[in-house]
Amino acid sequence: MTVLTIVSQKGGVGKTTVALNLAFSIAGRGWKTLLIDTDPQGSIGLSLRGGVAGRPGLADYLRGDMGFEDTVLSTRVPELGLLPVGRPTFSEACTWLQEPDAQDAFRHLLKRASEDWDIVLIDTAAGPYGPARGVLGMTPAALVLMQAEPLGIRSLPSYLEALAEIWRHGEGGRVVGVLLTMVQPRRAASMAVVQETLRLIPAELGFDAVVVRDPIFLEASAEGVPLGLLRRSPPPAAAVFEQIAAELEPRLALCTEEVEDEARSLVD
């Protein structure tokens, strides 16, 4: 099983949005995908209709009140499961996933998840501290989201330094990509950040895809659904998560075991 943690230095760059839509696309490509919300604020639950926010979840599992099977929600997409954060108390949220007992329980959870799922996608709280730090210390691969604005790129060195520090003290980990979000293709300043970022970061960490700033995300958020379920025929912005998923697969060593994975003729 592969574990991918969606992280960012700053808040509001689209982690929860990307985690949800990317999980939807990866599952759509046939991988058994479990999306775990580790943000004590429960952003995934708040982004989804169907009363997800009120359901038990990670907090209940960490407390030992509920088992793994009882906290995982199945979804309309057969390959996609959801583990909401549940309802951590304020004091639980203050030390969220940073105490040894909770960390042991979380590691156990990942181990248990590996029996049923090909990939676990983890949504986190922002920044390298507190809750996100706890999760990063226990997960091996991070996708770093960066808002396409000058502040985003300027904060990258200190964020990478923090990640290196967390992984040095934890179980080790690596960045598998830097994904640009909130890109405004019609604004030169936004595109300049995109270009400069792609020039500065190692080529293998860049993506051809970027997530553009698009009001459709607010619409989907208002409806409480991933973009792919907003309409019968999903909006163009939904397609980008397909591409990100495709770009990520080799980096995560997600590959089909079938020998017969060759190009097929369009016309026989």
Partner 1 sequence: MKLALSWIDPLELRTRFEAVVEKPPAAPPWPEGRSAGQRVAPVASQTQPPPAVELACLQPFPSQEGGLSRRLASLIDWLRGQMKAQAVFICDDDCLVLAQWGCAPELAAAATWLAATWNSAGPRVCPSGDGTVAVQLDNNAWLMLLSGRSVWGRVYLGVCIDQLAEPLTIRAMQDALSSALKEK
Q: Which residues bind ligand ADP (CB under 6 A)?
A: 8, 11-17, 43, 126, 181-182, 211, 213-214, 217-218, 221
Q: Is 169 in the site for partner 1 (CB under 8 A)?
A: no
Indicate the Cα dihedral angle 165, 168, 171, 173, nearest 10°: 70
Residues of span 137-166 touching partner 1 by CB under 8 A? 150, 153-154, 156-157, 160-161, 163-164
Return the number of the residue (20 or 240) whose C-beta is nearest Mg ion.
20
Q: How far is the CB of 63 from partner 1 (least distance, A)?
A: 33
| Residue 164 interacts with which of Mg ion, partner 1, ligand ADP, none, CB < 5 to 8 Å by class | partner 1
* Distance in angstroms (rounded) separating the CA atoms of residues 216 and 153: 25
Stretch that binds partner 1, among 15-23, 38-46, 172-180, 237-245 (CB under 8 A): 172-180
Q: How far is the CB of 56 from ligand ADP (least distance, A)?
A: 22
Give the DSSP per-residue string, the chain: -EEEEEEESSTTSSHHHHHHHHHHHHHHTT--EEEEE--TT-HHHHH-SSSGGGS--HHHHHHTSS-HHHHPEE-SSTTEEEE------HHHHHTTTTSHHHHHHHHHHHHHHHHH-SEEEEE--SSSSHHHHHHHTT-SEEEEEEESSHHHHHTHHHHHHHHHHHHHHTT--EEEEEEEESB-TT-HHHHHHHHHHHHHS-GGG--S---B--THHHHHHHHTS-GGGTSSS--HHHHHHHHHHHHHHHHTT-----S------S--
Q: Is 171 in the site for partner 1 (CB under 8 A)?
A: no
Return the number of the residue (61 or 167) whose C-beta is nearest partner 1.
167
Q: How far is the CB of 79 from ligand ADP (least distance, A)?
A: 22
Q: Is 15 in the site for Mg ion (CB under 5 A)?
A: yes
Q: How far is the CB of 167 from partner 1 (least distance, A)?
A: 7
Q: Is 43 in the site for Mg ion (CB under 5 A)?
A: yes
Stretch that binds Mg ion, among 15-23, 67-75, 171-179, 200-208 (CB under 5 A): 15-23
* Distance in angstroms (rounded) separating the CA atoms of residues 134 and 226: 27
Residues of span 175-234 touching partner 1 by CB under 8 A? 175, 189, 192-193, 196-197, 199-205
Lookup: tokens for 203: 């080529």
Return the number of the residue (151 or 218) whose C-beta is nearest ligand ADP.
218
* Distance in angstroms (rounded) separating the CA atoms of residues 191 and 200: 14
Q: Is 101 in the site for partner 1 (CB under 8 A)?
A: no
Q: Please give the residue ranges that form the binding site for partner 1 (CB under 8 A).
A: 150, 153-154, 156-157, 160-161, 163-164, 167, 173-175, 189, 192-193, 196-197, 199-205
Q: Please give the residue ranges that form the binding site for Mg ion (CB under 5 A).
A: 15-16, 43
